[in-house]
Amino acid sequence: MKPVHRHKYFVSMRSIKKLKARIQLLAFTAIFTTGCTEMAAEPETAATLKNVPYSDVSSLPARNPDGWLKYGDDPVQFILQWEPQLSAKGLLILIHGGCWLNSFDVDHIRALASALATEGYAVFAVEYRRTGDEGGGWPGTLADITAALDTIVDHTGSTDAILIGHSAGGHLALHAARRQPASVKAVIGMAAITDLSSYASGSNSCQSAAVDFMGGTQTQHPTAYEAAGLADKILHPRSILLHGEADGIVDIDQARLEGAATHIEPGAGHFDWIHPGTAAFSTLLVKLDELVRVQNTLF
């Protein structure tokens, strides 16, 4: 796979750099914040599946990856790589979800990665230590994601990637992007968990798993919960939240995050974002095209 190289541009004054960054942010905001608090119109698409179950996602066929990278000594610290099947549009980095549990691995997003590669994207899908793995949980799991980002940047020579995370992976992606804003051009949280304190107080199985991920309750570890939450954090300047109207696993309130543009997908469930046959996936493609267009215009 050929590295995706960053665009080259030069400035001679610090003030010009700041002005250009401001112009980029304003352009991005103009595209993505329209209707931020309202349900967006349904895109015209042949894909009409909505609110699909996890079993439908896990049974999807997928193309085998074209390569893989290691970023640590643990057996689960690896990255799967798919080369684009059309002329290259850009570089994507995927962080899978699964309630941060090691019972859910990267394999369940192979179909998503394959479909995105078919659309013309170079795709890297990160595996990482999760709850149940030695070193997994907060903050070790996030440390794996940031280390994987460094490895991908070194491998490709590019900082133009769009980082995408689903569910618990969305939580990790948003954190990694805000901590390493120069490593990626944008971040998308699909059905992302953004408020650990409120989420861990719930009773569904994934909410209960959040307590295990954090090593205890908020009462027991208030400082850790404050660090793991995103509500009061400065996000990557190009942060997008995609959420399904019918998500029964991550409440739609988790998609209200200052500093992020939000799209609510009508009728979509939690797993629609990682199923290539859904209307939500078509929306994801539209958002990616918009982001690529912004990058190509501004750089």
Complete DSSP assignment for the chain: ----PPPP---S-HHHHHHHHHHHHHHHHHHH-TTTTSBPPPP--S--B-S--HHHHHT---PPPSEEEE-SSSTT-EEEEE--SSS--EEEEEE--STTBTTS-GGGGHHHHHHHHHTTEEEEEE----BTSTT-STTHHHHHHHHHHHHHHHHH-----EEEEETHHHHHHHHHHHHSTTT-SEEEEES----HHHHHTS-SHHHHHHHHHHTS-TTT-HHHHHHH--TTSPPPSSEEEEEETT-SSS-GGGG--TTSEEEEETT--TTGGG-TTBHHHHHHHHHHHHHHHHHHHH-
Residue partners of 232: CB distance under 8 A and separation at least 6 = none
Residue 222: count of CB within 10 angstroms of its CB: 11
The answer to whether 93 and 259 are in contact (CB under 8 A) is no
pLDDT tens-place string over residues 273-291: 999 999 999 999 999 999 9
The tokens describing 100, both together, are: 């941060």
pLDDT at 297: 59
Complete DSSP assignment for 182-231: TT-SEEEEES----HHHHHTS-SHHHHHHHHHHTS-TTT-HHHHHHH--T
Tell me the mean pLDDT in the region 171-178: 98
List, edge to edge, every strand of the sheet that includes 162-166.
Answer: 67-70, 78-82, 121-126, 90-95, 162-166, 186-190, 239-244, 261-265
Interatomic CA distance for residues 23 and 127, integer angstroms = 35
Of 47, 99, 66, whose CA–CA distance to 268 is shortest? 47
Interatomic CA distance for residues 291 and 32, integer angstroms = 9
pLDDT tens-place string over residues 208-249: 999 999 999 999 999 999 999 999 999 999 999 999 999 999
The answer to whether 132 and 101 are in contact (CB under 8 A) is yes
Tell me the mean pLDDT in the region 29-34: 39
Percent of the chain with pLDDT over 70: 83
pLDDT at 206: 97
Classify domain 17-298 at the CATH topology level. Rossmann fold (3.40.50)
Tell me the mean pLDDT in the region 136-145: 98
Interatomic CA distance for residues 116 and 110, integer angstroms = 10
Query: Is a pLDDT exceeding 70 seen at residue 33?
Result: no
Query: Is a pLDDT exceeding 80 seen at residue 170?
Result: yes
Interatomic CA distance for residues 54 and 59, integer angstroms = 9
pLDDT at 296: 65
Residue with tokens 């469930």, as numbered in its chain = 269
Structural domain boundaries of the chain?
Answer: 17-298
Whole-model pTM above 0.75? yes
Residue type, 108: H
pLDDT at 294: 77
How many residues in the chain? 299
Query: Is a pLDDT exceeding 70 seen at residue 3?
Result: no
pLDDT at 4: 40
pLDDT at 88: 85
Bigger pLDDT: 289 vs 48: 289
pLDDT tens-place string over residues 73-107: 999 999 999 999 977 899 999 999 999 999 999 99
Interatomic CA distance for residues 143 and 137, integer angstroms = 10
Residue type, 73: D
